[in-house]
Amino acid sequence: MDSNFLTLASQIQVEEIYAELGTTEEKIKNDIEAIMEWTRKQPHLPNLEDQKQKVKSLLLACNNSIEKTKQKIENHYTIKTILTYLNHYNVTNKFFNEVCGFYVTIPLPILTRDASRVTLSHLKTEDTTNFSITNILSIFFMGSNIRLSKLDNNKKEIHIFDFKHCTLSHFTSVLPHINNLFLCVMEGYAVRIHSVHLLNVPSFGVSIINLFLNRLKKKISEKIYIHKDVEDLKNYIDPHILPTNYGGTFPKTSEELMDDWKNELLKHRDWFEDNNKLLVDEKKRVKKSSYTFDSVDGSFRKLEID
């Protein structure tokens, strides 16, 4: 692992994760090699020889199933190729400064006691002048991807979404991207969700959030909690993990942590540029993909799944 920002799971915690999944370090190595051998026989997939850490993360997130991991790899790189506007990462200082001017999305540095990683996301202001939902989604996936591939070794994921500064305009800007967002999150990535926590949800946002909830599997929707305030949140998240502006004792605010995370991401500029090149070559695909588009309209595309 290569991060000065994130505290990683201890060896004991890693062994506990393996035991829960019924695997060992040696078995994982063998499983990864079996998966890599499969990727080498898929002419449409990019060269993944340098992506073994990502393959390992996907394997663990797929509950140690080789076949599910193969399908997730197929999905991940196909969707990444189709939805380039969300998955082609802009690693310029200008992009980061623009997004970080109005948005915070950070993996909190300290893991929970069971080695889960908490990610906190919120707007800084109600001003929509520089707001861009595509930039928000892009930087969110950017962080998720590099943690999966290079920087993290956590057990499960906990997400906190604070809607304090969200206006109706912010909410409605998400609607054209719901299909693509769900495709990326539910099919293009594999993570073990511990829980999702929603803060300061405005009354007009409830119906839009219900659009999301209605499309989730029951086992996931049951892990989503709506909190009236930060004090209620602290019944679920240990305060020593939370930044000071969320009632925690970690000695930084979320905005200060976002500055640190931005610098962490910029250190890996070369990795992101290399990752942008890992695309599917549809001309070499032997079997038809499940994911196709029958229309394109700006950044919104209508999805059909066979």
The whole-chain average pLDDT of the chain stands at 90
CA distance 108 to 122: 13
Strand ranges of the sheet holding 193-199, from the earlier edge strand across to the other edge: 103-107, 117-123, 157-162, 193-199, 224-227
pLDDT at 177 over 50: yes
* Residue 214 CB contacts under 8 Å (≥ 6 apart), including other chains: none
The reported pTM is 0.90
Domain boundary assignment for the chain: 12-86+279-292, 91-269
pLDDT at 297 over 70: no
Q: Kindly tell me the burial class for residue 7, based on how many C-beta atoms sit within 10 Å of its own C-beta (0-12, 13-18, 19 or more).
A: middle
pLDDT at 306: 27
pLDDT at 186: 86
pLDDT at 301: 38
Superfamily name with CATH number, domain 91-269: CRAL-TRIO lipid binding domain (3.40.525.10)
Q: Where are the beta strands (DSSP E) in 163-201?
A: 193-199
What are the pLDDT digits (tens) for 208-230? 788 778 878 888 889 999 998 89
What is residue 250's DSSP assignment? B
- Residues comprising the chain, all counted: 306
Confidence of residue 2 (pLDDT cuts 50, 70, 90): low
What are the pLDDT digits (tens) for 226-281? 998 899 999 999 999 999 999 999 999 999 999 999 999 999 999 999 999 999 99
CA distance 40 to 45: 8
CA distance 36 to 73: 10
Beta carbons of 155 and 118 less than 8 angstroms apart? no
Tokens standing for residue 183: 């495709």
Amino acid making up residue 128: T
Tokens standing for residue 198: 């929603």
CA distance 25 to 14: 9
Nearest to 227 by CA among 269, 164, 171, 278: 164
> Angle at CA 155, nearest 5°, toward 150 and 159?
90
Nearest to 79 by CA among 191, 189, 188, 190: 188
